[in-house]
Amino acid sequence: MVRFRDVLFKNKSFTLLWVAQVVANFGDRLSQMALIALVYHTAPGSAMALAKVLSFTIIPVFVIGPIAGAWVDRLDKRELMIASDLARGLLALFIPFFIILNKMLPIYFIIFLIYSVARFSIPSRMAIIPELVEKKELLIANSLSDTTKMIGTAIGVVVAGLIVNMKSIGAMGGFFIYSLSFFVSAALMGMIAKKQPLSHIKQDLIEATKAIEESIRKSIFAEIKDGIKFMFRYGDMRFILSVFSFLMAGIGAVYCVSITYVQEVFGNATRDLSFIMLYLIIGLFLGTVLYGRFAQKISKKRSISLSFVATGMAVVLFTAGIKSHPSIMSGGILAFVMGLCASPIMVSANTLAHEVMPDDIRGKVFSSLEAVIHLAFLVFMFLTGLLSRYADKGWILVWCGAAFALFGIGALILEMKRRPIGD
């Protein structure tokens, strides 16, 4: 029987990858909080300014994602991750310089480049695991990786928020530490034993270049078109597409508005925001565990619909609650409830998608689905960012919560008229 300690402490290469993942995960949270703090100090309370910055972290999903896949599949993943970390570390060093000059446009460009390079590193980090552990250790290795990511995200959000909120560090110091995290990660990856000789790299580059040429021919619009075409061939996929699209549109709609709303209510950039995000993450995690343990007999479609209704009500309660009682305790509890209510949506939708989608086109459809839902996120993030210039942020969040609830009620009504599928 394979144990956690056998994989984590007896396999040096996997241990190095695991530690590098912890460092990189913290760096990502630090980047997130530094960007939020930067916007808070340059354009206080502007959801649109925050949406503009964050959009440059999402656009690479469409532009670079398909191209990056070709490289990851054909090049040495260890070398690719080291190069990615070094490139991002060097790029991040330029951000404080432009903060001093008060130039936001170059910062947008650098953020876009950093997250473009990340599209090569993220899949490489997951794809290299089977090369470092034995087949019988894969389940434990992936469990360790996923659990570490969840716990690291929760702790990283709070620590990063507190660090960036310190006057002596701020957004500028946050980006210096962010840069350092990449160099540490690259050093750790460099200590992983190589399995592929250098003589193969030239041939790998040739193969990757050919694959990239094919990938470039396919634009984001073609990706979305393919996603819709394949999904509409299967009845349940239409439901799944609507669920993911509406969920990501809703998250995009509330993301920047809720961040700036919390900043205005509590009067600081990241300190209280980080604790509220921690409670939200804990709620999501616990909700996922409880749902998997106790709700397996409930129809997945019904679970999704009820979860939308509950999440919508939780968003409204959170908005009104922190406004009338602006404390970490009340805000944290309400954020926890919100995470608890929302968690079944993703679990049920992902499971239903796996059940109804044929194996031979699953990868293609999920790739297309990612493009569709990220586009929904971007569009609605900008729409509510623009709307927040003319309407109260609290009311925008209330309207978004009501839209979530109405979507869930509508889905429940439709489900009552049809036979439940997927159970």
Give the model confidence (pLDDT) of 162-178 as tens digits.
999 988 899 999 999 99
Mean pLDDT, rounded, for 207-216: 54
% of the chain exceeding 90 in pLDDT:
43
101-134 tens-digit pLDDT: 989 999 999 999 999 998 888 777 767 777 787 7
Lowest mean pLDDT among 25-34, 277-286, 293-302, 323-332: 293-302
Higher pLDDT residue, 224 or 341? 341
Pseudo-torsion of CA 151, 287, 157, 338, nearest 10°? Answer: 180
At residue 217 the predicted structure's pLDDT band, cuts being 50, 70 and 90, is low
Is 223 a residue whose pLDDT tops 70? no
219-423, CATH topology level: Growth Hormone; Chain: A; (1.20.1250)
pLDDT band with cut points at 50, 70 and 90 for residue 206: low
Measured from the Cβ of residue 296, the count of other Cβ atoms closer than 10 Å reads 11
Percentages of the chain per state (helix, strand, coil), in multiples of 5: 85, 0, 15
CATH of domain 1-217: 1.20.1250.20
Q: Which residue has the tokens 């299967």?
A: 234
Q: Is the distance from CB of 312 to CB of 366 less than 8 angstroms?
A: no
Tens-place pLDDT, residues 228-237: 666 666 666 7
DSSP letter for each residue of 356-367: HS-GGGHHHHHH
| 200 compared with 116, residue with greater pLDDT | 116
Which of 15-24, 59-68, 110-119, 251-260 has the least mean pLDDT? 59-68
pLDDT above 70 for 156:
yes
| Per-residue confidence (pLDDT) for residue 199, from 0 to 100 | 46
Q: Which residue has the higher pLDDT, 314 or 214?
A: 314
Q: For the chain, how far is it from start to end, CA to CA, in angstroms?
A: 33
Alpha carbon 407 to chain centroid distance?
23
> What single-letter amino acid sits at 26?
F
**CA-wise closest residue to 366 among 28, 58, 64, 65:** 65
Over pLDDT 70: what percentage of the chain? 79
Determine the average pLDDT of the residues in 184-191.
92
pLDDT of residue 363: 53
Which of the two residues, 146 and 272, has the higher pLDDT score? 272
> Are the beta carbons of 264 and 392 closer than 8 angstroms?
no
Whole-number Å distance between alpha carbons of 188 and 184: 6
Q: Which two tokens stand for residue 353?
A: 């998608």
Q: CA separation (Å) from 26 to 50, 122, 190, 252, 391?
A: 21, 14, 19, 23, 35
pLDDT at 188: 92
Mean pLDDT of 360-383: 75
Lowest mean pLDDT among 6-15, 40-49, 83-92, 203-212: 203-212
Average pLDDT rounded to a whole number, residues 41-46: 90
What pLDDT, on a 0 to 100 scale, did the predictor assign at position 292? 75
- What residue spans define the domains of the chain? 1-217, 219-423
Rounded CA gap, 235 and 230, in Å?
Answer: 11
Q: Tell me the mean pLDDT in the region 134-141.
A: 73
In this chain, the answer to whether the domains covering 1-217 and 219-423 adopt an identical fold is yes
Residue 97 has pLDDT above 90, yes or no: yes
Examine the pLDDT at 422 and tell me if it is beyond 50: no
Q: Mean pLDDT in the chain?
A: 82
> What per-residue confidence (pLDDT) applies to 119?
82
Query: pLDDT band at 421, cuts 50/70/90?
Result: very low
> 349: pLDDT confidence band, cut at 50, 70 and 90?
confident
pLDDT value at residue 224: 52
